[in-house]
């Protein structure tokens, strides 16, 4: 598995502001992902954070709203920009681990609970 930490664990923000969430892993990983979990809902992938290149976004998510950085193999950030109450969710990072060369399992960080007023 992997030890994954996220900061902050929770925050309450005003609409129109931005929040940057950090994800730190205790070992180098090839693949890191960011998910959103809206209240009472399942998890939806926002993007895959690629080290050294631009993130790969899923349909419905755009870089201007959710810019992602991946400066090295142990760290990534997700920014939620120009927030509205609809952005109130839990944001989770995950890392891919493998028993071979291709990631075949994902482990999750503890999540960041964001409330936008």
Partner 1 sequence: AQTVTQSQPEMSVQEAETVTLSCTYDTSESDYYLFWYKQPPSRQMILVIRQEAYKQQNATENRFSVNFQKAAKSFSLKISDSQLGDAAMYFCALMEYGNKLVFGAGTILRVKS
Binding positions for partner 1, rule: CB under 8 A: 1, 31, 33, 35, 37, 41-45, 48, 58, 90, 92, 94, 96, 102-108, 110-111, 113
Q: How far is the CB of 16 from partner 1 (least distance, A)?
A: 26
Q: Residue 85 and residue 39: Cα distance in Å, rounded? A: 12
Nearer to partner 1, 35 or 66 (CB): 35
Q: Name the nearest CA neighbour of 98 among 29, 35, 18, 40.
A: 29
Nearer to partner 1, 19 or 49 (CB): 49
Q: How far is the CB of 112 from partner 1 (least distance, A)?
A: 9
H/E run at residue 44:
strand 43-49
Q: Residue 20 and residue 8: Cα distance in Å, rounded? A: 9
Q: Residue 60 and residue 94: Cα distance in Å, rounded? A: 20
Nearer to partner 1, 71 or 110 (CB): 110
């Amino acid at each position: 598995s992997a030890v994954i930490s996220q900061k902050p664990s929770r925050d309450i923000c005003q609409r129109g502001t931005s929040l940057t969430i950090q994800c730190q892993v205790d070992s180098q990983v090839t693949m890191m992902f960011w998910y959103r979990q809206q209240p009472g809902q399942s998890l939806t992938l926002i993007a895959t954070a690629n080290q050294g290149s631009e993130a790969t976004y899923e349909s419905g998510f755009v870089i201007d709203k959710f810019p992602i950085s991946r400066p090295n193999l142990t760290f990534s950030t997700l920014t939620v920009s120009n927030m509205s109450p609809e952005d109130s969710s839990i944001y989770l990072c995950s890392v891919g681990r493998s028993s071979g060369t291709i990631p075949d399992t994902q482990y999750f960080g503890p999540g960041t609970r964001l409330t936008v007023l």
